[in-house]
Copies of this chain bind each other. A is one copy, B any other.
Amino acid sequence: MKQRKPVRSEMGWSTPETITVRGYDLPNQLLGKVDLGGMAFLEITGRLPSEREAEVFNALLITLVEHGMTPQAIASRLISICSPEAMQASVAAGLLGVGSVFAGGSEQIARILQTALDGKAKDADLGAIAQAIVEDHTARKAPIPGIGHPLHKPIDPRTPVLFGIAEKNGFRGRYVALLEAIAATAEKRLNRTLPINATGAIGAVLSELGFPWRICRGVAIIGRAVGLVGHIAEELRNPIAYEIYERTELEVLTNATAKP
């Protein structure tokens, strides 16, 4: 018979008198002393951030909170008119859209950057590494994640600010440099404007902070959860989902070829 392994977790536990989170006494050591961004850092990494880490990490976290009427925001609002008694269902519905296309891509670029520099010497030739990455994607006709944006051209206005905040706090290192090399190489190779977009910048700076690529999408997920609660709040004050639904239904009826 297979030997069962023990189930362990260091996230937290409770006794009647205490609540412990990652080794801290929640009521006495965290409440009123740590903000939500610091708490997110603690949850993911197991330790509280330094002041510099907190400033950088909060900037990354708030970047993706709100980008207007995204498909995710519309989906959350539509579900909120169906299940008004279950706000968690509305937020979850929109959150399910933090996939490969909108906001979820920081995982992919962080994977490329971290894989490329894994075990490489400090003075590795970033230009050559970038060249290889661009050639590999071009050969496979695969888009390079983290660069290019359908709207924000010639630059994504969030990127230089995020890189500036990273630099100020000592987190602008070779992951950022490699991504810049990739973008520059790709622009030349493909003869197109390919700015580093916000998810690219987030993937690079999270790599500087030491986050493994597999968890990077979590930053977008946390941000969007905040934003989607905001959209539900506005939908409660000023409902628009019903209008979007009714217009769509009416247009479909009007355009239907096989009329009843």
Which residue numbers of A lie inside 8 Å of B, CB to CB?
A: 2, 4-23, 25-28, 30-32, 34-37, 39-40, 42-45, 54-55, 58-59, 61-63, 65-75, 78-79, 81-102, 104, 107, 151-153, 157-158, 160-162, 164-165, 212, 214-215, 217-218, 221-223, 225-227, 229-234, 236, 238, 240-241, 243-249, 251-253, 255-258, 260
Cα of A152 to Cα of B240 in the assembled complex, Å: 23
Given contacts A43-B66, A92-B93, 17 further A-B contacts (CB under 8 A): A5-B243, A10-B257, A19-B67, A27-B161, A35-B36, A36-B36, A39-B61, A71-B82, A71-B241, A71-B245, A87-B215, A88-B99, A89-B99, A92-B96, A214-B236, A218-B232, A218-B233
Cα of A79 to Cα of B95 in the assembled complex, Å: 9
Q: How many copies does the complex hold?
A: 4
Cα of A248 to Cα of B151 in the assembled complex, Å: 16
Interchain residue pairs A-B with the least CB separation, the first 9: A83-B99, A43-B230, A82-B97, A225-B225, A218-B229, A71-B78, A92-B92, A36-B37, A89-B96
Question: What is the predominant secondary structure among interface residues of chain A facing chain B?
Answer: helix
> Which residues from B are CB-within-8-Å of A86?
83, 85-86, 88-89, 96, 99
Please judge, given known A-B contacts A96-B93, A243-B7, whether A58 and B35 are in contact too, CB under 8 Å: yes
> Which residues from B are CB-within-8-Å of A36?
35-37, 40, 58, 61-62, 65, 222-223, 226
Which of A89, A244, A247 has the most chain B CB atoms closer than 10 A to its own CB?
A89
B66 touches A78 (CB 8 A): no
Cα of A246 to Cα of B257 in the assembled complex, Å: 24
> Which residues from B are CB-within-8-Å of A40?
36, 65, 226, 229-230
